[in-house]
Amino acid sequence: MPGRRGPIRYAVVGLGHIAQAAVLPAFAHARRNSRLVALVSDDERKRRIVGRKYRVEDTYSYDEYDACLEKVDAVYIALPNSMHAEYTIRAAQAGVHVLCEKPMAVTVEECEAMIDACRGHRVKLMIAYRLHFEEINLGAIEIVRKGRIGEPKFFNSSFSMTVREQNIRTDRELGGGTLYDIGVYCINAARHLFRSEPTEVMALSVNAGAAKLAEIDESTGAVMRFEGERLASFVTSFNAGDVASYRIVGTKGHLRVDPAYEYAKGLAYELTIDGKTIRKRIGKRDQFAPELLYFSDCIRRNRDPEPSGAEGLQDVRIVRALYESAEMGQIVQISPFRRMRHPTARQRIRRPGIQKPVLVHARSASK
């Protein structure tokens, strides 16, 4: 694969909301090195209509996944969380590179099996943390790294939405839960802003009895102690108004990013030092084409991607520890983990925003 002259040929596996609203349109902004050549879904009508729209002739059911893997160089896995491990491992065994949506998987063991399979078959594995290529969040990391707010001391975040009934995020067997879906953003942001790893965590999950959330946590509040005696706290909820922001406070000032985690709108931050505030806002950008461009370059140049499988594994380790804490009612220690590469400004890739396409048998998670 290294040295391949043509674009990397992708199959998008799963044609739910995120695939149709964001991933498929992103290929128009990633033509330099990425090409959409196949679709995988068990919905025949969806395959036919979406395939026609994007001029993709090769479409497959899940039962035909192995045949699909013979025609592509890489897959973008946009399946329910519980299916990530199986479809990643099968791709790796076929010698196909994997760009997998977050969270990486449901359990630590699944994450480790994904990493082992990709390493053993010498294929690249990247987890789709789109904010690792996004201007506002990379700017926030640089501000903290350069010491502009002094020594960072604490982080807090709120991420919530009102999830629709019968959405896969509310199904325990499919890997549903607020921490898996949106909590990973808060965890990932804190880790890279502090440039360190948590040593212990505690959490409290609540459920007010909404029938649609009976199998999962409605809301979870979490606190994480980081190396250097720093604290990060956040609350996630599937039954509250739309909020997606964070603030990090240091000895000289503070930085607030709001909105912080969205992909359907522009993002912004406010940096306050000595009572003076600097604001930066950008309009809506395509956050998915940068992932494709970056990952395809990693494949073609034989470079290890950041965010890697190890990055996804660490966040799942923390999610599992937080749910354990909520269940047991006690602090859970986090065993040491090899320090990862951090996203840098060099990873920033700008592409213009896209208009939301007409969706086929798919709708957003929130009302």
Residue 263 tokens, joined: 């992909």
Q: Are 58 and 152 in contact (CB under 8 A)?
A: no
Q: How far is CA 98 from CA 8, 50, 60, 70, 310, in A?
A: 12, 22, 17, 14, 14
Q: How far apart are CA 59 and CA 41, in angstroms?
A: 8
Helix (H) or strand (E) holding 44: helix 44-53
Q: How far apart are CA 212 and CA 163, in angstroms?
A: 9
Residue 48 tokens, joined: 């036919």
Q: Are 284 and 266 in contact (CB under 8 A)?
A: yes
- Annotate 97-124 with DSSP letters as a single string: EEEEPSS--SSHHHHHHHHHHHHHTT--
Q: Give the residue among 147, 207, 5, 27 at the shortest CA–CA distance from 99.
A: 27
Please confirm, yes or no, whether 102 is among the known catalytic residues. Answer: yes
Q: Give the residues across from 257 on adjacent strands.
A: 246, 269
- Annotate 68-84 with DSSP letters as a single string: HHTT-SEEEE-S-GGGH
Give the 3-state DSSP-derived string for 45-71, with helices as H, strands as E and coil as C: HHHHHHHHHCCCCEEECHHHHHHHHCC
Select which of 60, 129, 185, 323 is catalytic: 185
Q: How far apart are CA 143 and CA 150, in angstroms?
A: 10
CA atoms within a 13 Å half-sphere pointing along the CA-CB vector of 226: 22
Q: How far apart are CA 238 and CA 163, in angstroms?
A: 5
Q: Give the residues across from 306 on adjacent strands.
A: none
Select which of 10, 102, 180, 323 is catalytic: 102
Q: For tokens 């993002």, what's the residue?
A: 267
Please confirm, yes or no, whether 280 is among the known catalytic residues. Answer: no
Q: Is 299 exposed, middle or buried (0-12, 13-18, 19+ CB in 10 A)?
A: buried
- Any idea which residues carry the catalytic annotation? 102, 185
